[in-house]
Amino acid sequence: MLRAVAALPRCFIGDLTVSGQPLGVHATRTDPVRVLEEMKRLAVEQLGAIPGALYRPVEQALQSPSASAESFHDQAALLVLRQHSASHVMRFRQQIAQGFDEFRTPRIRDVALMGLIDEHLIDFHLAGQRLAEILDQRYQQPLDAMKHRLIGLAAALRLESAGNPISPARLADAFVETFGDAGLPEALAGLMFRQYQQELARVLDDLYERINTLLADAGYDAVGHYAAANRAAPAAPVRSPSSLDEQVAPRYPQPPAFNSANVPAEYAAHPAHPAHPAYSHAAPASAPMPAATQHVSAELAGLRAQLRAWRTTDAPHAPHAAPAPYGYHPHRPPPPRRELRVQEVVSIASLLQPEPPDAYARALTVSGRLAEAIRAHLTEGARRLGLNPEQTRFSVDEEDAIDLVALLFESLFRTHALQDRARRLYARLVLPYVKVALVNDAMFVQPEHPARRLLDAITEACEDNSAATPQDRELLERAAAVSQRVVAEYNEDLAVFELAHAELEDLLVQQRRRTELQETRAAKATHGRERLNEARSQADTVLQRRLTAPPLTSAVANFLVTPWRHHLVQTLLRDGAESVRLADAVQLGNALVEADRLAEAGRGRELADRLLALQPAIVECLASSGLDDGAARHGMAGLVRELANPDTPRALHAAPPSDVSDEPAEEGSRLWLAGGTDTIAHDPGVAALMRRLQPGEWLRLTDAHGEAVSVRVAWISPLTSRLLLVNRRGLRVLVAAPEELAVLVGAGRLLVGAERTPFNEAMRQLKDRLDYAVGQR
């Protein structure tokens, strides 16, 4: 199919480049090929999007209160039909283009025997004939004039005879050829025919007028005959599209009224079915707007106003001006460029959706380039479908949708730690989300929107995920699979997003449990290290007092510095600062200092009695350092030998360096303090704000490498009031005091008050960017 699409521009506009002369008022009868190709371009451009515009009005008709209980079958069939919308648009465009090809190369069209056609196809053909008769009556005068002008055009092409390639009969046949094999129920087929007639009535007035003007300007004039026709017959009354509804497809009955009480469970259980609680659709225009809907509309209006002001003030991101339209003449003002209809842009995006997303992946590496890439890709897709970009343009709402999606995806990559391997995954989702924004822009303001929830789930799966474990790799693979599913299946049916989210959510539930375990381990490890550092600090204070005075022998000083200090730390950790065992351990140190004084004074008997009394405590102290009973007794003997000599030299000993330490989760990600938090310059007000943070609050942290990451307060230390910050995988990112966090806030590396979900945070960043750009801050 894609090869056929790529070939369409050649058959649509290939002959237009034969001559360098523009087609317009200067075209003459010597340019019949170019005139015919311009007619083809106009016809394909204006008629090509009609099939895609049929579904929503038909859906609303089926969901109206007047519908009966049997309409759920028609709604289910319509749901299937919409999934193939892109192929129907393509087939219809090919039928329109084929009419012009047959004009240049007349051939006998295939006619099937009535007995070989299925009954539902007979109904289709009869309804098509009736539609052609109605349109023939309505457009009798322009068709009559066009007929004689086409005779002149055929003569210039040296053709004996040729029919009108956009006659009502041809347009009816195009519809039958497009939807005839879709197996539509009778009621749904009738609604489709009636809606097709309304869409044709909206388009044909302008199209027939432009075709006649084109032929007349090119020299194929039928004014005389046209005037004669006006004198010969009164003008046919102009009927509104609604007045013709009852004349189309008389064999097809009106759809029965819809009654949700009679919907079978297999249909009602489907999330995309109107009977399902999760299904939402546009309310009828006459229905009063609920307060919640009014709030959403007001919020969207404000967002669009900001966006349009941003496009006006931010020149590099404004839509590029297109070249002069085809047929432009310097002595005449250029004709206005037609705005593409939303359904046309959606059809273009649907055809481009399966293509590789390399351009979007490259654009995501450079902020501000994604919108340009989207516009360029959609413009190229329009060219493939025969829509001349020099004569068409995006509407303001379509520009809004493109820019909002581009800014959203760029904000996600700017504010979340997404690895390079996730870039292609997100690039694949760009066009589906552009389509969602075109037909359902409530995604940007409704937290429960299916597309929004899916993007949150994918970001949760990808953020900080380096695929280091089998579980992380499985999560990345599942996220990639659901993105491919959205690309393959999404065609204006939000149920695809619901199903993809449910598929990914199963793994995310397991991931969240692992994250909770990681957070618990990180909190316990941090708490244990803080208790150890606190015990070491207290033991060092006690030791310092024993080493400063009086002078001690090396044996006693070494015993106090190593085994006794270690024994103090262990006792503090196991029994606490108020325990009896700690008091006994401190008393052991005091007794050894006193024994050293006795030895220096030569009071041998008292020293011997003191050492005998201290032997069990000394052996226990040595054993706490990992020595067995024999090694402990050997250490006791060495201490006794040195104290037995009164002349052993004694001196004051310096305290050893403190081994209080902390291990940062990532090198360079933590502030290292010299002298405590009181010595660093910080804002006391911000520090007070940091002390009020509670576990579960989200923040945005820029690490030492300049990468933004989502962090959450997982735990607050009861000893030091430091905060443990973890990422979405539960891994420790930073442990810092409130004063340290205040320094990070002042340096612009920490943002307090971040949103919990990635989509909300990206939208907040998007709004801040727009506010700043339009000068509201």
Instruction: Check if the beta carbon of residue 671 is closer than 8 Å to that of residue 695.
Output: no
Residue 374: the pLDDT is 94
In the numeric block, which tokens belong to residue 594? Answer: 């006193």
Q: Is the pLDDT of residue 208 over 50?
A: yes
Average pLDDT value for residue range 336-357:
88
Q: Give the range among 158-167, 222-231, 634-643, 648-657 with minimum mean pLDDT.
A: 222-231
Check residue 403 and give its pLDDT. Answer: 92
- What average pLDDT does the segment 679-686 reach? 80
pLDDT tens profile 693-729: 888 888 888 877 777 778 889 899 888 888 999 888 7
* 115: pLDDT strictly greater than 80: no
Structure tokens of 450? Answer: 């299916």
Q: Which amino acid is it at 56? A: R
Mean pLDDT (whole number) for 464-489: 87
Each residue's pLDDT tens digit, 79-109: 778 877 778 888 888 888 888 888 877 654 4
Class of domain 677-773: mainly beta
What is the pLDDT at residue 768? Answer: 83
pLDDT single digits (tens) 664-677: 444 334 444 434 45
pLDDT digits (tens, 9 = 90+) for 235-279: 444 444 433 343 444 344 444 333 333 333 433 443 333 333 333
Check residue 327 and give its pLDDT. Answer: 40
Domain limits, the chain: 2-12+29-108+119-252, 304-319+340-519, 550-643, 677-773
What's the pLDDT at 434?
94
Q: Is 378 left (phi over 0), alpha (psi -120 to 50) or beta?
A: alpha
**Among the listed residues 580, 649, 589, the one whose alpha carbon sits nearest the alpha carbon of residue 617:** 589
- Write down the mean pLDDT value for the chain: 76
CA distance 175 to 204: 15
Q: What does DSSP assign to residue 750?
A: E
Amino acid 121: pLDDT: 66
- What are the CA-CA distances from residue 271 to residues 76, 268, 275, 492, 716 (Å)? 12, 8, 9, 14, 43
Sheet (strand 732-736) strand order: 732-736, 723-726, 708-716, 698-702, 750-752
Distances in whole angstroms, Cα of residue 522 to Cα of each of 31, 141, 667, 719, 735: 79, 83, 17, 16, 10
pLDDT at site 430: 94
Tell me the Cα Rg of the chain: 41
Identify the weakest region by mean pLDDT among 148-162, 384-398, 552-566, 569-583: 148-162
| Cβ neighbours of 433 (radius 10 Å) | 25
**Cβ atoms of residues 770 and 310 within 8 Å:** yes
Cα 505 from Cα 221, distance rounded (Å): 66
- Residue range 67-87: mean pLDDT, rounded: 73
- pLDDT tens for 117-162 read 555 567 777 878 888 888 888 888 889 888 888 888 888 888 776 6
Q: What is the pTM of this model?
A: 0.56
Task: Give per-residue pLDDT as tens, 170-205.
Answer: 898 888 888 887 778 878 888 888 888 888 888 898
The mean pLDDT of 474-486, rounded to a whole number, is 90
Work out the percent of the chain whose per-residue pLDDT is above 90. Answer: 8
Mean pLDDT of 636-657: 79
User: How confident is residue 428, by pLDDT bands cut at 50, 70 and 90?
Assistant: very high
> Which span out of 121-130, 333-342, 413-422, 586-595 was modeled with the highest average pLDDT?
586-595
d(CA 552, CA 560): 10
Q: What is the pLDDT of residue 497?
A: 92
The predicted model gives 445-449 an average pLDDT of 87
Query: Residue 376 has what pLDDT?
Result: 92
Residue 435 predicted with pLDDT over 90 = yes
